């Protein structure tokens, strides 16, 4: 393990300041190496407080530790510090023959894209950006509702570790209050020969510790934390995937429905250039949204975007 990672773990566990001399003796390195490691940690978004004759203290932020996540989840974790997109990293991993399940992780993304290839805000530090590669090798109609399952896993993980209650806006957005906290992008690769879904890549972008957003996003996006956090990103990432991997699909679908922002709410949507409005009455186990239209008809939406007519409970 690199020196800066060892220093991070020491500072993370310390109750107060740790002197540079103590760190140097503990790690058997020079004071210059300690200073360089502090600069490395700061370059990765951590705020290190330094006071003469007292030493160093971790004031804000954390460090992503793929080896720790791998140990906690049993997943092979590929960490790319200069990732354009973890979805692209996963696709490259498939081409290279990486075994699944595998998790592709990055501290930020240079060309992050969401649904419909839309760009989304990815700060230099404080976010969670990851993609899980699976190989279901199943017919489309037998493939699990991965987007719903991951959404529920995120909700449950946040609640378990922090007590914070989030909700899900169909089909792939996690909300805290009236603002978006996280998004999910699921992509599938199928075989023309067999008709089976051979590979699935589930991407997650989550604002963990983002104190400030661009002006045009301040009314739309939010962060799980805006100051020092009671947990690390490593803990949350591990909890999300442990829940996803170990919880039966039916239980996660149940959580999805319980935490839905849209069920029993009036929604509007556009289909084939026509606008519709009605009451969202159900979410099927495969992820379809059932809407009772104002004219009495019932529509089942497989994908697309909806707008909530009201945020009232």
Give how far Cα 97 sits from Cα of 84, 108, 170, Å. 20, 24, 33
pLDDT of residue 313: 39
Average pLDDT, the chain: 92
Interval 257-270 mean pLDDT? 93
Interval 250-255 mean pLDDT? 97
User: What is the per-residue DSSP string for 274-309?
Assistant: EEEEEEEEEE-TTSPEEEEETTS-EEEE-SS-EEES
Interval 147-160 mean pLDDT? 98
66-259: CATH topology: BirA Bifunctional Protein; domain 2 (3.30.930)
pLDDT digits (tens, 9 = 90+) for 13-23: 998 999 999 99
pLDDT of residue 305: 80
- Tell me: pLDDT of 114 over 60: no
pLDDT of residue 112: 57
Domain segments of the chain as ranges = 3-59, 66-259, 265-312
- Tell me: pLDDT of 168 over 70: yes
- Tell me: pLDDT of 57 over 90: yes
- Tell me: pLDDT of 115 over 60: no
**Residue numbers belonging to the annotated binding site for biotin:** 109, 113-115, 180
**Residue numbers belonging to the annotated binding site:** 109, 113-115, 180
- Tell me: pLDDT of 37 over 50: yes
pLDDT of residue 310: 55
- Tell me: pLDDT of 312 over 60: no
pLDDT digits (tens, 9 = 90+) for 179-218: 999 999 999 999 999 999 999 999 999 999 998 888 888 8
Q: With respect to CATH, is domain 265-312 assigned 3.40.50.300? A: no
Taken as a whole, the chain contains a residue count of 313
pLDDT of residue 116: 46
Rounded to whole angstroms, the Cα distance separating 254 from 124 reads 35
More confident position, 251 or 116: 251
pLDDT of residue 125: 77
Q: Among the CATH numbers 1.10.10.10, 3.40.50.720, 1.10.3720.10, 1.10.1740.10, which is that of 3-59?
A: 1.10.10.10
pLDDT digits (tens, 9 = 90+) for 126-143: 899 999 999 999 999 999
User: What is the per-residue DSSP string for the chain?
Assistant: --HHHHHHHHHHH-SS-B-HHHHHHHHT--HHHHHHHHHHHHHTT-EEEEETTTEEEEEE-----HHHHHHHH--EEEE-TT-S-HHHHHHHHHHHT--SSEEEEES--TT-B-GGG-B----SSSEEEEEEEE---B-GGGS--HHHHHHHHHHHHHHHHH----EEETTTEEEETTEEEEEEEEEEEE-TTT--EEEEEEEEEEESB-----GGGTTTB--SBSSS-SS-HHHHHHHHHHHHHHS-HHHHHHHHHHTBSSTTSEEEEEETTEEEEEEEEEE-TTSPEEEEETTS-EEEE-SS-EEES----
């Amino acid at each position: 393990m690199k020196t800066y990672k060892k220093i991070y773990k020491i500072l993370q566990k310390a109750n107060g300041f740790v002197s540079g001399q103590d760190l140097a003796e503990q790690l058997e390195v020079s004071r210059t190496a300690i200073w360089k490691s502090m600069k490395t940690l700061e370059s990765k978004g951590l705020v290190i407080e330094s006071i003469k004759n007292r030493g160093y203290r971790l004031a804000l932020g954390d460090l992503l530790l793929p080896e720790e996540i791998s140990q906690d989840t049993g997943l092979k974790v590929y960490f790319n510090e200069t990732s354009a997109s973890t979805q692209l990293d996963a696709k490259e991993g498939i081409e290279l023959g990486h075994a699944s399940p595998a998790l592709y992780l990055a501290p930020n993304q240079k060309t992050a894209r969401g649904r419909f290839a839309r760009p989304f805000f990815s700060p230099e530090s404080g976010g969670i950006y990851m993609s899980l590669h699976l190989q279901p090798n199943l017919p489309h109609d037998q493939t699990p509702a991965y987007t719903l399952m991951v959404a529920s896993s995120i909700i449950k993980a946040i609640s378990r570790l922090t007590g914070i209650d989030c909700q899900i806006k169909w089909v792939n957005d996690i909300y805290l209050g009236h603002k978006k906290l996280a998004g999910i992008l699921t992509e599938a690769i199928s075989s023309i020969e067999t008709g089976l879904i051979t590979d699935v890549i589930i991407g997650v972008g989550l604002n963990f510790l983002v104190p400030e957003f661009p002006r045009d996003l301040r009314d739309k996006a939010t962060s799980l934390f805006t100051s020092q956090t009671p947990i690390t990103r490593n803990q949350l990432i591990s909890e999300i995937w442990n829940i996803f991997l170990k919880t039966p699909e039916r239980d996660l679908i149940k959580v999805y429905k319980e935490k839905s922002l849209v069920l029993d709410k009036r929604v509007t949507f556009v289909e084939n250039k026509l606008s519709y409005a009605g009451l969202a009455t159900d979410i099927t186990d495969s992820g379809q949204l059932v809407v009772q239209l104002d004219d009495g008809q019932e529509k089942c939406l497989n994908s697309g975007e909806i707008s909530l007519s009201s945020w009232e409970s």
